[in-house]
Amino acid sequence: MTYGVFRHRALLVQLVKRDVLLRYRGAMFGVLWIFLSPLLMLGIFAFVFGQIFQARWPQQPEGLPFWLMLYSGLIVFNLFADAVSRSPGAVRSYPSYIKKIIFPVGLLPLVPVGTGLIHASFNLVILILALAWTGRLSLGIVLLPVLLVPVVLLAVGLSWFLAAWGVFIKDMNQIVPLFVQMSLFLSPVFYPISAVPTYLRPLYLYNPLGAVIEAYRAVILQLPLPWAEWLAALAFGGIACVLGYIFFEHSRDEFADAL
């Protein structure tokens, strides 16, 4: 699995680059939407929760804006959502590639993940600049890319799984985005895990989304990182990645017939 991706890494880079350029081709602001889209949503969320509800984050230091805590959760979630919501069409959208015996079909579900990583990289730059502006910048920021690994593994595994299903079930393109929207409110993006009922907290603490969001906020608040939960999430993401790849490889022989 890893060897195949590494061997075709140049092709994967070109596919991701093409996907990004096609996504914003013809738009007035072009690739600036990578910044504008999350910032616009962030502005709405910050206004609703910060001004209307006047929400404050537990352990929120004086001078630290609420929207910064919100934005850190959105970076993690948007990486997951960007990859997973587009994965059902990752293979179905390229039927001509499927019929080429020499083409590494397993790369196609990785393209949405690569695009999501590019968006996340730009958003991390915004987060770091915001931390510097608010005086909360610390050496912990060097860990931010590393902390994303469990979410990346989960997104890759689900992308392989959903891309294979998307070949056989066209409705996946409508079903998956609905579940992604539901997961936005079921993940600790707008609220801390401490607000979740005690009996549900393990579901939040040990899944990749919850663990990584909590780790990001620990960096912002300059608190000890939840390494135990992060490692459990890493294992969960790794298992999801392997199972997704196995399912994809088991199904790929039938892709050409289904398309």
Determine the average pLDDT of the residues in 154-173: 92
What's the pLDDT at 28? 65
What's the pLDDT at 158? 96
Model pLDDT for residues 203-247, shown as the tens digit of each residue:
888 889 999 999 999 998 888 999 999 999 999 999 999 999 999
46 vs 38, 124, 216, 259, CA distance in Å? 12, 18, 18, 44
Domain segments of the chain: what residues? 2-258
- Given pLDDT bands bounded at 50, 70 and 90, which one contains residue 62? low
CB–CB of 228/174 below 8 Å? no
Query: pTM of the predicted model, to two decimals?
Result: 0.90
- The residue assigned the tokens 């009922």 is 197
- Given pLDDT bands bounded at 50, 70 and 90, which one contains residue 81? very high
